[in-house]
Structure 1
């Protein structure tokens, strides 16, 4: 299994909407509690500021396919937020999310950020395990029903 990342584009909107409309996925989103409609999805895309989004591309059995999204938001602050979802449910539990978060941390490191955070719903045990395994520390509550995790980005040796 190999994983790569490419910038998300407008051409990815239909696939991202399909992923974000899956109930097993959106049950772990703070601001979404039902399938998306196209206008809401377009408003989200067009309203994105101070963020980067990448599509996670997975290779298995000599075939490449898009399986999820990793994002960094609040890039105009000292502590951007990492967000991730694996839209292809069959790819859950294969280490894809871990590699995506590590990719986001690597990108932040190249941009000289020293800290990042993630907000994870209390019932999302799988995401909590991913972020804790990487070294994020539980830092209490973020919003109602959501935990805050923080990570100190250390410089790599040249």
Structure 2
């Protein structure tokens, strides 16, 4: 089995030509590249942790996280990264040559997304990244997401990407993607 050059997950190869370069891409990554060459994803790596810590320590980002109510601690952040299970996948979203956010799926098929670089908002980046994740992990459906009831942008994003609100747990809305 071949590995996709972007998401680095196993795939049946699809060749994509980018100028003089030929790359091996999975179908969802090839679709993402075909639709907008300025957006792609790559696996979260140790070198990304400092930037991710800065984003996740911003109250404008973490105010919508269920399990975080303040800035993160570096050692706990690294411990989380190193203890992730094999069914959890976190991807850095790249837009116009810079890292702008994260899209992820955990071992229980719960997905999440945030853009830490606010200049990437309102450009369709989150929609394309979430659609990519749903296509890449389609075999794991149903996918779920928890969204704070006051997070209107995320409610719109997940609905636009095919998720439907299924239930409510206090202030948290449960969304399901099951095409």
Q: TM-score, normalised by structure 2?
A: 0.75
- Alignment partner for residue 69 of structure 1, among 82, 98, 102? 102
Q: Please state if 1:54 is matched with 2:87.
A: no
Separation in 2 of the partners of 1:28 and 1:40?
Answer: 20
Give the equivalent residue in structure 1 for 2:117: 88
* Larger RCO: 1 or 2 (CA < 8 Å, sep 6+): 1
1:43/1:151 CA distance change after superposition, 3 Å: same
Give the equivalent residue in structure 2 for 1:29: 65
Structure 2: runs of 5+ lacking an equivalent? 1-35
Give the equivalent residue in structure 2 for 1:13: 49
Q: Please state if 1:126 is matched with 2:172.
A: no
CA deviations on 1:73-126 (whole Å, 9 max, x unpaired) are 02xx5xx111101010121122111111101011112xx223111111111110
TM superposition outliers: structure 1 runs of 4+ over 6 Å: none
1:144/1:43 CA distance change after superposition, 3 Å: farther
- Alignment partner for residue 173 of structure 2, among 125, 130, 147? 147
1:17/1:108 CA distance change after superposition, 3 Å: same
Q: TM-score, normalised by structure 1?
A: 0.85
Separation in 2 of the partners of 1:144 and 1:46?
Answer: 32
Q: For the pair shown, which has the larger CA radius of gyration, 1 or 2?
A: 2
| Structure 2 SS opposite 1:123 | coil
Equivalent pairs counted in the alignment come to: 142
